[in-house]
Amino acid sequence: MNNNIIVAIDGYSSCGKSTLAKALAKKLHYIYVDSGAMYRAVTLYFLRNNIDLTNHAQIEEALKNIHLNFHSRDYETHITLNDEEVSEEVRQMPVSEKVSAVAALKEVRREMVKQQQRMGKSKNIVMDGRDIGTAVFPHAPLKIFMTADPKIRAERRYNEIHAKNPEVTLEDIFENIAHRDYQDTTREESPLVRADDAIILDNTNITPEQQLQFALDKIEALKG
């Protein structure tokens, strides 16, 4: 029954997790799930509805009113929040600035992890995030922990979003990444940490093609 394959990719912000996860899913014909987009969509809802992050009853109530769905087109993430397509909006700065605080909330994590585990029940999936190999799928047969030089990460992200957001500076992005790294690794609930059995992939000096090949080789080795 449950012999579907799960590839868990964790790591710091903006170090190419989704690039690798998408490429792998495409190559292997697996489903790609961007777990960060779920925390981002919850954050968007909280921002729009002025949810007080210290009010636990309000948070629980809000979570009941949030319905998330993924629609995969060409392995790109299309996420809907209560049937509204929010894929673009969740990647903007207002959400990026608040998402780590929202992702640190126990109630939010409990609900997201439950939904993520449900997605992995019957399908082969590649999921990327911060706690996929530790909390969501601790038994995933392949876990990759990604890292890269923070300056390179900021430059890559800047090049990605600069055309659409010319007002955002490289310094803003660097600070946002540093801030998220700090919050993600020091929070109480499932902090970002490498699972003992995760393979480290530092992509500071390698191309997306090389990192894909690295992961494909690991998958081949599992089969062999």
User: Which stretch, 36-44, 50-58, 170-178, 210-218, contacts ligand DC (CB under 6 A)?
Assistant: 36-44
**Is residue 99 close enough to count as binding ligand DC by CB under 6 A?**
yes
**Is residue 120 close enough to count as binding ligand DC by CB under 6 A?**
no
Three-class HEC string of the chain: CCCCCEEEEEECCCCCHHHHHHHHHHHHCCEEEEHHHHHHHHHHHHHHCCCCCCCHHHHHHHHHCCCEEEEEECCEEEEEECCEECCCHHHCHHHHHHHHHHHCCHHHHHHHHHHHHHHCCCCCEEEEECCHHHHHCCCCCEEEEEECCHHHHHHHHHHHHCCCCCCCCHHHHHHHHHHHHHHHHHCCCCCCCCCCCCEEEECCCCCHHHHHHHHHHHHHHHHC
**Is residue 131 close enough to count as binding ligand DC by CB under 6 A?**
yes
User: Which stretch, 55-63, 72-80, 124-132, 155-163, contacts ligand DC (CB under 6 A)?
Assistant: 124-132
The span from the CA of 202 to the CA of 216, in Å, is 16
**Is residue 157 close enough to count as binding ligand DC by CB under 6 A?**
no
Return the residue of 39, 75, 137, 158 that touches ligand DC, per CB under 6 A.
Answer: 39
Three-class HEC string of 134-177: HHHCCCCCEEEEEECCHHHHHHHHHHHHCCCCCCCCHHHHHHHH
Nearer to ligand DC, 13 or 211 (CB): 13
Nearer to ligand DC, 44 or 99 (CB): 99
**Is residue 184 close enough to count as binding ligand DC by CB under 6 A?**
yes
**Is residue 180 close enough to count as binding ligand DC by CB under 6 A?**
yes
**Is residue 87 close enough to count as binding ligand DC by CB under 6 A?**
no
User: Which stretch, 63-71, 123-131, 162-170, 197-205, contacts ligand DC (CB under 6 A)?
Assistant: 123-131
Nearest distance in Å: CB 128, ligand DC:
7
CA torsion, points 85, 8, 118, 103, in degrees to nearest 10? -60
**Is residue 22 close enough to count as binding ligand DC by CB under 6 A?**
no
Nearest distance in Å: CB 78, ligand DC:
14
Nearest distance in Å: CB 1, ligand DC:
26
Nearer to ligand DC, 133 or 215 (CB): 133
Return the residue of 8, 20, 40, 75 that touches ligand DC, per CB under 6 A.
Answer: 40
Contact footprint for ligand DC (CB under 6 A):
13, 35-36, 39-40, 99-100, 103, 129-132, 180, 184
